[in-house]
Chain A
Amino acid sequence: MGKTLFDKIWDAHVVSSNEGFPDILYIDTHFIHEVTSPQAFDGLRERGLPVFRPKQTVATADHNVPTWDQHLPIKEELSRYQVDMLTKNCAEFGIELYGLGHPFQGIVHVIGPELGITRPGGTYVCGDSHTSTHGAFGAIAFGIGTSQVEQVMATQCLLQQRPKRMKIEVNGKLQKGVGAKDIILYIISQTTAAGGTGYAVEYAGDTIRSLSMEGRMTICNMSIEMGARCGLIAPDETTINYVKGREFTPKGEEWEKAVAYWQTLYSDDDAQFDSVLKFKAEDIEPMITYGTNPGMGIGISQTVPETTSFEAKEQGSYKKALDYMGLHDDEHLLGRPIDYVFIGSCTNSRIEDLRQVAEFVKGKHKAENVTVWVVPGSKQVQEQAIREGLDKVFESAGFPLREPGCSACLGMNEDKIPAGKYCISTSNRNFEGRQGPNSRTFLASPLTAAASAITGRVTDIREFLKEEEFIEA
């Protein structure tokens, strides 16, 4: 019987497999950041252990950093201490750090791919659930807790139970104005926030194939939002062209060898999946979430579902979510005034996202009532945007281009959405208080966020498309 892509990569990384025990899985690269690593470093000190393979460990500071005036010391004492601690720990244990001020600094899931560290066939972990992003290259990549961060530091391995395998196929032609973010929000709205739990999800189908690497990263990034262990997409020409020539990509003969191996990485025709889901691209509208988990999403022209459409035992939690959001049954989100627009996060902060938004907002200006933040995913994305003059376009539109970091995705650093305010966000989570205590989040694509910033209300990007032509979403 044939093997799935997931199993091919997993099997190539099993160090030891014993009946009754989880497998010992070899990790090619361990990404670390300031928030989930300090207790792991302390653990190593207590055990008197070094980092086993420091050269396979890459660090950056992203969660707790400001995205304005990064050249100044971090104002908040605890944040500064945590970032300083990462610097000290990396120096002590011999780990390369792309910290504040370094030309490679940025969100961990943006820099890994852009530096060519993330490659097809590899295994990648990080103390961050959005590590699933790296699966876009045809790799196994997932988030881990701090005890596991310590485990990987100590052994370059992870004890893991092999998950079940799911295939999600999307076929067909996307409507204009619909992109990768809408696809994944649509999938999660169909599976629910728990529908992928226990599975490694392979995304396939011609719609997925037609996406750029950045679009594929957006898809894999949100795998965790349906509970999946990881998400992955078989590598192809698009993947190989993206990886080629990057900072840490193999060169010369090594490159040829690598490419030959990558071309074997696909699910065999007779490979068995534990579950298969199929969706039609034509069914996908620009998506928006109305609730407090990413599974609570609707097409932008639809209305908030009725409470009675849920099972009795689920209705309490559903009402709680709508109360929090200040919404009610059957309501349209379209036309609803918003206060903030956040374009950024490991889901949508790459150069293509910024280009797409800039192209759309060129010659337009944000609405009076809205504050807009555009936060590049990395220093390299920021520099590229400036080289292309996107910063000027953003500035004229009232969209200041900030400095790289996780920013308003998680309500941890200085960038928080105030209580009670509504934010259309290109990030990945709409949990209660995620963007700041009592903030309210509508998740959407960069284009939907940009269009809404211009009108000051929840907007269907397709309304603009009737009037003008611009790059495909």
Chain B
Amino acid sequence: MATKIFKHIQTSVVPLPIENIDTDQIIPARFLKATTREGFGNNLFRDWRFDENDNPKTDFILNNPNYNGKILVAGKNFGCGSSREHAAWAIADYGFDAVVSSFFADIFKGNALNNGLLPVQVSDDFLKKIFDAVFADEHAVIEIDLVDQFIKIVATGEQESFEVNPYKKACMTNGYDDIDYILSKKELIQEFEDAK
């Protein structure tokens, strides 16, 4: 089945300079009761975004109208904890196309890639440069190019290349998904089972 295609974006960013952001923060378990993939963006970072009376917390960055864009930039070990794909769904549903961090948890990274949400792992230094740029100017623009695998701070021209699995890159730039690929090898699965 076709999935979302990602090749290139250039946009302002939302900075979240916190380390070890776990998937329980991204989407708390009590919001995992839905049986469809839609609507999780409303509860993205629920308990950081809203108080116990559902009023927006003004000191949280998503509630600051000066910061917006299609890229979420966060501290290291982003997406640790639960395997809930709802975390990737919530980030994408909110309107982000990419997440930048200096380190990603494994399962989150895989889930993001399976949903057309690009995880971009940068060095600690480059992450700091992005935070510095966006805290100096909230409209600072970042460019991410998946085809040529680089991320750039547009105003200064500083850039860094990033790694992505070549297979997942082909999936994202063409909108393929894993099931199509494995189904194309179905006779091998049968052979494997017969040999057991």
Residues of A within 8 A of B (CB): 15-16, 20-22, 24, 26, 35-36, 38-39, 42-43, 46-47, 52, 63-64, 76, 78-79, 81-82, 85, 127-129, 143-148, 150-151, 154-157, 159, 161, 163, 193-194, 197-198, 224, 227, 229, 292-293, 295, 313-314, 316-317, 320, 410-412, 419, 429, 431-434, 437-438
Contact = CB atoms under 8 A, between A and B. Distances in A.
A163 B115 CA distance: 22
Contact of B29 (A198, A227, A229, A410): A410
A129 B103 CA distance: 18
Given A15-B189, A412-B32, A159 B181 contact: yes
Contacts of A47: 1, 179
Given A20-B166, A150-B179, A431 B22 contact: yes
Interface stretch (B62-70, B104-112, B140-148, B152-160): B104-112
Interface in B90-119: 103, 105-107, 110-111, 114-115
Given A146-B86, A432-B47, 11 more contacts: A20-B166, A47-B1, A81-B33, A143-B107, A145-B85, A157-B182, A163-B106, A227-B77, A227-B80, A429-B82, A432-B24
Interface in B157-176: 165-167
B137 interface: no
Nearest to A412: B29
A81 B33 CA distance: 8
Nearest to A419: B52
Nearest to A125: B83
A442 B36 CA distance: 34
B105 to A, nearest CB: 6
B132 to A, nearest CB: 12
B56 interface: no
Contact of A193 (B77, B106, B189): B77
Given A147-B178, A198-B106, A431 B25 contact: yes
B33 to A, nearest CB: 4
Contacts, number: 175
Contacts of A410: 24, 29, 82
Nearest to B191: A15
Contacts of A146: 85-86, 111
A440 to B, nearest CB: 13
29 contacts: A15-B185, A24-B185, A24-B189, A36-B83, A42-B36, A47-B1, A63-B32, A64-B33, A78-B33, A128-B83, A129-B81, A129-B107, A144-B83, A144-B110, A145-B114, A146-B86, A148-B110, A151-B179, A151-B182, A156-B189, A157-B189, A159-B181, A194-B77, A194-B80, A292-B20, A316-B17, A429-B82, A437-B52, A438-B47
B191 to A, nearest CB: 8
Interface of B: 1, 17-20, 22, 24-25, 28-30, 32-37, 47, 52, 75-77, 80-86, 88, 103, 105-107, 110-111, 114-115, 124, 128, 165-167, 177-179, 181-183, 185-186, 188-189, 192-193
Contact of A429 (B24, B36, B128, B179): B24
Contacts of B18: 316-317, 320
B83 A437 contact: no
A40 to B, nearest CB: 9
Nearest to B105: A227
A20 B188 CA distance: 18
B47 A437 contact: yes
A38 B35 contact: yes
A51 B20 CA distance: 36
A343 to B, nearest CB: 20
B189 A26 contact: yes
B162 to A, nearest CB: 16
Given A129-B83, A154-B183, A432-B47, A21 B167 contact: yes
A143 B79 CA distance: 14
Nearest to A26: B192
B114 A148 contact: yes
A127 B83 contact: yes
Nearest to B178: A159
A262 B25 CA distance: 41
